[in-house]
Amino acid sequence: VDDHSGGPPFKVSVEA
């Protein structure tokens, strides 16, 4: 999923 933690727009495992 897209990182919504204020990080880069890469498909990573967001913890939110």
Which pTM does this prediction carry? 0.05
pLDDT value of residue 2:
59
- The dihedral region occupied by 6, where left means phi > 0, alpha psi between -120 and 50, and beta the remainder, is left
pLDDT value of residue 3:
57
Please write the tens of the pLDDT for every residue from 1-16.
Answer: 555 666 676 666 666 5
pLDDT value of residue 13:
65
Strands (DSSP E) contained in 1-16 are: none
